[in-house]
Amino acid sequence: MAKSMSTATSEAVDVFTLPNGSSAGTFTSSKIVDHLTLSDDGTALLTDYGLVHPNGSIQTLPSNFLGGSLALSPDGTSYLTVDTSSASGTTTVYKNGSVLTAFSCRASAWLTNTSILADCYTTHPGSGSIYTYDHTATFGINGLQKQTVPSQVTGMVVSSDTWFDNTTDTLRSITTGNVVWQGPYAGAIKDARVTDHTIVHRLWNNRLVTDTF
């Protein structure tokens, strides 16, 4: 868990462990943090201007990054950007501040430190600029496609091979599409959050309920 405190010219982000709330460190920066993602091990913080380390050093985002999606690898050593200025999207992967690769699909999540989930689009027949969804696949950090998966992942990625489907209240395998857990609230979920082995649902009547799996 992280919270930020800012002044006019700097920002400090304090990191705490759950559930006991003990301090796990502080990130300081000379810039204001608007959006942040903490690596799984708590050693790196990705913001909308760069990658911040606990000693305050910053790897700034590339100058040609004009907006889009950002995602940090679980170990905090790599990050990716998704250029959404075109319909097809382009994913660029960085490690230690240098470009590793780029590929023409829209990354949606890191599955492991070396595997990325991405949606790929194709040109609509008869048009050079209209793109339609084609398939979802896993990619290595070298940009090579590894495996096509059965369906588009439209919910929260829970593990390297599991995602949560809000509409059906199910956990599904990314690689096979099979249901690996079924909850009782299909059709009644407004949104949900998954942590460890617990799912917190907010139903359409705004009632909060929890399930374990």
Mean pLDDT of the region 56-69: 66
Mean pLDDT of the region 144-169: 93
Look up residue 35 and give its amino acid.
H
**What is the value of pTM for the model shown?**
0.78
* List of residues 6+ apart from 31 with CB closer than 8 A: 10, 11, 47, 49, 58
Per-residue pLDDT, 35: 63
Most confident of 53-57, 76-80, 172-176: 172-176
User: What distance in Å separates the CA atoms of residue 29 and residue 52, rounded to the nearest whole number?
Assistant: 7
Confidence tier at 5 by pLDDT (50, 70, 90): very low
CA atoms within 13 A on the CB side of 130: 4
**Cα-based distances in Å from 58 to 54, 74, 190:** 10, 18, 37
Using alpha carbons, select from 115, 104, 30 the residue that is nearest to residue 71.
115
Q: Whole-number mean pLDDT of the chain?
A: 80
One of 3.30.70.100, 3.30.450.20, 2.40.10.480, 3.40.50.410 is the CATH number of 151-213, namely 2.40.10.480
Domain ranges across the chain: 1-60, 62-149, 151-213
User: What distance in Å separates the CA atoms of residue 117 and residue 73, rounded to the nearest whole number?
Assistant: 12
